[in-house]
Structure 1
């Protein structure tokens, strides 16, 4: 294998580390005692209802009590269940490192390797980690905005990965661009396209239309992806929109258009 081929297949170290952390967590979930695994997922998965309760406990409790005619004992049990403890404010980020099984992890790992690597090479490690985390949080709050009283846990890095897909849109559709290291174009770094330039680029707009269409389809028909559970497509869109709108803020100023 020559040096050029090695460059093509080698992932940036920061992406490899992220994949390693997520794989280690899934391995832990597979071999650790069920009670311990449940406790970890219970503490670190993102549950919109718990965040709502942390932000406005009396409002949430009153709404649930009225809707379900709960007595005092039932309300006490509900409070115990909804109390996410000190970790609840971390869950809009920590959920991205948990997955719902090996299939879920493998799909996210492949997409992170494919779309995260060019962005990681362009941003460099610290900026990429900040961008990845911000996209994950944006995805969680987008889901929260639509489902503030949803008790179903949300896990997976899809929202953050969606943000990296959007980041690529900001520099990969520059005329002559290629997804080499640092987004090089004819030996020079490609500048980040403005949103108006993206709107004028047919390839970029086609990518956006296909991406949004695919996510709406997954939201309406999750069985298409082989999932028997609802897909948090709002989180995907939240991460993607944040990545599309804010990618330039994470780049060195020299690359901004």
Structure 2
């Protein structure tokens, strides 16, 4: 058992007598790795690549709607070909428009992606990341199919994580912060239960309102506009598809019925 120390600082000691120190970054390793990767990519783009090279990175990995519009993109070949058409639905999430854009997303990722990852595990979160990123790009394309502006940022995934967390983090009591830091093992709320959960509904309403305000005002780092459509796509994917990623919401599998053995009639002689 640990015991509280008497050094007057509110700290406490481990069984070996050494003072316990709260880790500086109390985040899952996959979240730290993901955030570190995004920071490293932005450092390379910002300080090591020329403007032309960075433009090539955007052409190769950002989601550019006109890439999929043959009527507009005639005469120009995007890097990556058919495979690029596929990976840009996800790879754009690793790029950011400015340091402010990146830092804000890292803060939101630490808050919301963390709670979802702890709930569903690393491999399922990777699948969740891909699906919500692709959903964000798809909805963005629906509204801007002839746009040449690159879509970048992990906001669609984070929007999906926010809506997904509302389905399991607010089934108890306490503040939003408490709910997001707690351990949740009960099945997630159904859509009908979610509709009657005031805490969850108000949480989602605040997100929708903020997204609408920033989208209409087009406030963004580096002069970029907010891709609210991509946010909405990720939000919808996280809200409606999360139970398919969540093992706590999937009932126990029924055991397979044993195969019926065929009757052995080898001892019967057929008289002709």
Q: 2:36 aligns with which of 20, 27, 30?
A: 20
- Number of residues of Structure 1 aligned to a counterpart in Structure 2: 229
Which residue number corresponds to residue 230 of structure 2? 235
Distance 1:32 1:226, change over 3 A: closer
Compute the displacement of 1:165 (Å).
0.5
Which residue number corresponds to residue 50 of structure 1? 67
Partner Cα distance (1:174, 1:113) in 2: 21
1:95 counterpart = 2:111: no
Distance 1:163 1:7, change over 3 A: farther
Give the number of the structure whose alpha-carbon radius of gyration is greater.
2
- Using structure 2 for the length normalisation, give the TM-score: 0.77
Partner Cα distance (2:105, 2:21) in 1: 24
Distance 1:164 1:92, change over 3 A: same
Partner Cα distance (2:35, 2:78) in 1: 31
Distance 1:256 1:5, change over 3 A: farther
Report matched runs for 1:25-104 at 5 Å. Answer: 25-34=41-50, 35-53=52-70, 60-61=71-72, 78-80=74-76, 85-86=81-82, 87-104=84-101
Q: 2:246 aligns with which of 218, 242, 251?
A: 251
Compute the displacement of 1:114 (Å).
0.9
- Using structure 1 for the length normalisation, give the TM-score: 0.81
In the alignment, structure 2 segments of 5+ residues that lack a partner are 1-10, 15-19, 252-272
Cα deviations by residue, 1:142-193 (Å, 9 ceiling, x for unpaired)? 1011111111110000001111101110101102373346x33xxxx22211
Cα deviations by residue, 1:90-149 (Å, 9 ceiling, x for unpaired)? 111000000112111101001000111111111110011110121111000010111111
More relative contact order, 1 or 2 (CA 8 Å, 6+ apart): 1
Cα deviations by residue, 1:169-228 (Å, 9 ceiling, x for unpaired)? 0101102373346x33xxxx22211111000111111122221111111111023x5563
Q: 2:212 aligns with which of 210, 216, 220?
A: 216
Partner Cα distance (1:93, 1:111) in 2: 18
Q: 1:127 aligns with which of 117, 124, 127?
A: 124
